[in-house]
Amino acid sequence: MTTNIVEIDNLSFGYKGRLLHKGINMVFPRGKVVAIMGGSGSGKTTLLRLIGGQIKPSKGEVRVDGEVVHKQDRDGIYKLRRKMGLLFQHGALFTDLSAFDNVAFPMRELTDLPESMIRDLVLMKLNAVGLRGAYNLMPAELSGGMARRVALARAVALDPNIIMYDEPFAGLDPISMGVICDLIRSLNDALGATSIIVSHDVKETFLIADYVYFVADGVVAAEGTPHDLMQSTLPFVHQFVHGEKDGPVPFHYPAANYRSELLKQTPAK
């Protein structure tokens, strides 16, 4: 068994000729909470999709438990995915199923467990996220934070080795954010899993992560423990961590000169 459950080796990926990742290297050791951070559009979620085998890299490889993901056939990919749980940014709950049935879904689909055991397991998972009492509510009746917690219970329904979180803190109120923060750390430790968090919320992520990668311009711009990165003098990391307006990351999208743009004569129609 390798020390690292996920390894990303010289990975490049792009859409329509534009490279999003240019030779990324990352390792995710077993039992750790590792965060991938970076600005919007830096390809963080795409990295999760590459780990899950939903898209194929242009160059390099992703290895999960020693297996190269993009070289697997459909059965191989599904076998690897059974070791993973993914919490989608907006939960992605099945809208025609109740909270209970959503959590029971992977158990019913992928195991031969009797219904009585599934019931107990689902209630345990819902209890872990504090929503046992909401088992019969439909997704439309749940708040954003509650839906995210039900989705988390579903993601860990089969006790995966790798739990991936796509922007778990986005759009949550401070209480829900704190609850999700605690849950990620405690579930990781209780299940002995490896957690991969994709986020741009510095405070919450630094609170629970053991190691952090910063992605910018398609490469790993910086990496280290949250403590190291807080002290970092690298201009990009400093700007990102402290949320500064001025720095290497410009506020404005590249554009022509502001003054000349405003003074430009528009042709009469």
Contacts of 77 (CB under 8 A, 6+ apart): 53, 69
DSSP 43-107: SHHHHHHHHTTSS--SEEEEEETTEEGGG--HHHHHHHHTTEEEE-TT----TTS-HHHHHHHHH
What is the C-alpha separation between 62 and 59, in angstroms, rounded? 10
Please, which residue, 56 or 242, has the CB nearer to other proteins?
Answer: 56
DSSP 3-state of 129:
coil
Please, which residue, 10 or 54, has the CB nearer to other proteins?
Answer: 54
116 binds other proteins (CB under 8 A): no
CA–CA distance from 264 to each of 194, 254, 257, 261 (Å)? 55, 18, 10, 5
Number of residues that bind other proteins (CB under 8 A): 19
Please, which residue, 48 or 179, has the CB nearer to other proteins?
Answer: 48
What is the C-alpha separation between 188 and 161, in angstroms, rounded? 9
Question: One symbol per residue from 53 to 92: x for binding other proteins (CB under 8 A), - otherwise; what is it?
Answer: -x----------------------xxx-xx-x-x-x-x-x
For tokens 């329509």, name the residue: 16
Please, which residue, 8 or 229, has the CB nearer to other proteins?
Answer: 8
Contact window for other proteins (CB under 8 A) among 59-67, 101-109, 201-209, 258-266: 101-109
Per CB under 8 A, the list member of 2, 56, 94, 192 interacting with other proteins is 94
Contact window for other proteins (CB under 8 A) among 56-64, 104-112, 178-186, 241-249: 104-112
Please, which residue, 48 or 229, has the CB nearer to other proteins?
Answer: 48
Closest separation in Å from C-beta 47 to other proteins: 14
CA gyration radius, the chain: 21
Site for other proteins, rule CB under 8 A: 52, 54, 77-79, 81-82, 84, 86, 88, 90, 92-95, 105-106, 109-110
